[in-house]
Amino acid sequence: MLGAQWGDEGKGKAIDQLAAHSDWAVRFQGGNNAGHTIVIGDTTLKLHLLPSGITAPNCKLVLGCGMVVDPWVLDQELERWHALTGEQPEGQRLFISERAAVILPFHRLYDAADTLVGTTGRGIGPTYRDRTERVGLRFVDLSHVVDDVGAIRVIADRMNKQLGTVGVEGTIDPGQLQSEISWVIGRFSDAIRPTGPMLDKALREGEEILLEGAQGAMLDIDQGTYPFVTSSITGRANATHGAGIHPGHIEQCFGISKAYTTRVGNGPFPTELALDEGPGRQMSEMGNEFGTTTGRPRRTGWLDLVALGGSQRINGHTGMVITKLDVLGGMDELKLCVSYKLDGNETQSVPASCEDLARCSPVYETHPGFPTLSPEEWIDLADESRQGGGFDVLPKTIRSYLTRIEEAIGVPVVSVGVGPDRRASIASSDGPFDIHLGEATF
């Protein structure tokens, strides 16, 4: 399950829907810079590290080796989950890869000095950097350094020199660092496991595994709008690698895209609209477009088929999930960006240079809009779709809009989100999302 835009596409809801039919849900990259929101009745879950499959009590959970994990944030999430459900899944059905990297207070301090990219400030990039430089700590390493006073001091000295170079006044005390590492070991030792071999064994026994991405294709460190990207590989190529299994296991790959486009933070955005008026304001207000992790307002714009085509090229989606279609209700017309104009030439590829992308202007197709429906009316259509109606329950204008998206990216739309609730999705007949969506058991 992969984000096909600049993140925030609604992956959490789609994963929640499939988790009840899966044996495992695995996060394979990123950290608590991700934010997945799931709405089930009157309950709203905001997850940052816990896989969205946690809503299915029989689904086992893994924080994969490709992740960077903040143990203090994970502790807070688990405490909230325990208060809601009474469950303590760590070590029972939640497992942390021993190879996953540990986010320490130093990484958050260092990240706070960023003024260019507009990061979440959660320490993600510095932790990945330490991993690449082979000086970071993985969960498996903690027990080997916690009692080595000399090693702890060397780590703290390195951290303090780096903080000084970026003008951060805070320092890392070796004794405090040792105490923090000791706490992590004590808190999570039951959950730290060799999860790659565990998943390999599960696959050989015929179990179903759901791989859950964070962020989106246009934030990929290699293929995204660099340097305004995240610090990991967000796509299909890393899905199995970041879980510790081989890529031949992937049978289906679903891309998630809103019916329009949003992005958080800095960087070029060709289809961007004003937030204070017109369609951009409607997308922002009706879509509740504020970052789950940061609370920052998301920038909004028309659906960008050029960027979506780039995501398809990278990830080879077998099906597309379009979310938040209901947000566009009541507009007289809808626009789809089908190409860019750059220096007088038309292109259907996202330029590698952000300087060039910033100079691109969108080329639009205009399509008729559709009426506003109430949340209850959308859910009634969703229920009807799962009784054999499929996409035929949708008005013709919406079906035409979806068909044009399918033509542009070359894969079928398999589900359409029409509200935040778990049930508010319209599935294609006999497709992967044409499944029973039960009430939550917590």
Whether 315 and 233 have beta carbons less than 8 Å apart is answered as no
Question: Tokens 């706070």 label which residue?
Answer: 112
Whether 100 and 65 have beta carbons less than 8 Å apart is answered as yes
Whether 358 and 268 have beta carbons less than 8 Å apart is answered as yes
Burial of 377 (0-12, 13-18, 19+ CB in 10 A): middle
Tell me how crowded residue 314 is: count the other CB atoms within 10 A of its CB: 22
Question: What residues act catalytically?
Answer: 8, 36
Tell me how crowded residue 333 is: count the other CB atoms within 10 A of its CB: 10
Nearest of 241, 210, 200, 242 to residue 30 by alpha carbon: 242
